[in-house]
Amino acid sequence: MTVTPTTKAGRHLGRATRRRAAEAVVRTLVYAAGLLSIVILAAIAIFLFVEARKAINEVGLGTMLTATSWFPTGTPKIFGFLPLIAGSLSVTAVALVVFVPIGIGSAIFISEFSAGWFKEAMKSVIEFMAAVPSVVYGFLGVAVLIPWVKATFNLTSGMTALTGGLVLGIMSLPTVISISEDALHAVPDALRQGSLALGNTRWQTVYKVVVPSASSGIFAGVMLGLGRAIGETMAVLMLTGNAAIIPTSVLESVRTMTGTIAAEMGEVVFGGLHYSVLFAVGLVLFGITFAINLAADLVLERQRKRWRR
């Protein structure tokens, strides 16, 4: 008679202990998973550096960053990143001219001048544009934009920095619009109502009150769009013609950092010098995008704190 309750209690105790043990195991696993992102990010930086070490030792970081030509397979081999960096910058500059005005203008219209149903509809449109793979944008560029650029500017080839930049600009729009719109949306309505009550028109409210209040978020959106444009690979590989020459105008063919890695990695000897140099290009690319993203993230975090109520 007295045995039953003790075993019951014992079983109960056992279950509680087991659950507490499970809790400890899960907690460890969950914490480990939480730290995974730091580990991966650090591993990316470390392995890029490890694989680039041969290039840094044999060619030298200074030479790579200042030499003005890129002849990876010629004799002598010359590994100068300047044409590639100039290529990336020229394409990104064109993209910037496209996505800054159109992106911010659209975000203002969506957030300030349109009804709720329109905002929802635009979310789907932007979702769609962000979901289309970059290789598809590249293909559409090949099919439509290259012939157009060639005919419009009377060129021998339509593969130019302009062609790649225009497509990159369109591809960056979803990022810029959604982050800028979020920033505008986060501005408290009291500010708008105060401005309207003082007799300002809607537009005066927008450019005197709302946009200045959201400026850091909009800036972050532009930065993230910029990071996306610099890091984009397939579209520029397919559209810019990939000539490794420092361009003098946007109507010339350029070779970007990303395009160089994608185009040449298939042909190198693994572990060789050229392989290592491509990792050095990756390291430079990683450094640039890391700085841009970090700046944007810090700005966004500050903005989030500002309007938290």
Partner 1 sequence: MTAPMSNRTGRARRARVVEGVMKVVTGACVAMVIGAALFVLGKIIVAGLPGISLEFLFSKPGMGMRAGGIFPVIMGTLMLVTLTGVLVLPLGVMAGIYLSEYAPKNLMTRIVRLSIANMAGVPSIVYGLFGLAVFVLLMQIGKSLLASALTLTCLTLPVIITTTEEALRQIPADLRQAALALGATRWRAISKVVLPAAAPGIVTGSILGLSRAAGETAPILVTGAAFFLPKLPDSVTSQYMSLPYHLYVLATQVPNVPPEITWGTAFVLVVGVSIVSMFAAAWRSAQRKKVKW
- By CB under 8 A, tell whether 151 contacts partner 1: no
Q: Which positions from 188 to 227 touch partner 1 by CB under 8 A, shown as an x/- string?
A: ------------xxxxx-xx----------------x--x
Q: How far is the CB of 75 from partner 1 (least distance, A)?
A: 26
Q: How far is the CB of 80 from partner 1 (least distance, A)?
A: 20
In sequence order, which residues have a C-beta less than 8 Å from that of residue 84 and are 6 or more positions away? 70, 244, 255, 256, 257, 260, 281
- By CB under 8 A, tell whether 228 contacts partner 1: yes
Residue choice 133, 188, 194, 212 for contact with partner 1 (CB under 8 A): 133
Give the DSSP letter string of 81-124.
-HHHHHHHHHHHHHHHHHHHHHHHHHHHHHHHSS-HHHHHHHHH
Taking the CA of residue 188 as centre, how many other CA atoms within 13 Å lie in the half-sphere pointing to its CB? 8
CB contact at 8 A, 284 and 257: yes
Positions 62 through 91 that interact with partner 1 (CB under 8 A)? none
**Closest CB to partner 1 among residues 76, 286:** 286
**Closest CB to partner 1 among residues 13, 41:** 41
Q: Which of 54-62, 64-72, 189-197, 230-238 is the region at the interface with partner 1 (rule: CB under 8 A)?
A: 230-238
Distance CA 153, CA 144 (A): 15
CB contact at 8 A, 254 and 161: yes
φ, ψ of residue 75 in degrees (nearest 5)? -125, 120
Q: Which of 74-82, 211-219, 244-252, 290-298 is the region at the interface with partner 1 (rule: CB under 8 A)?
A: 290-298
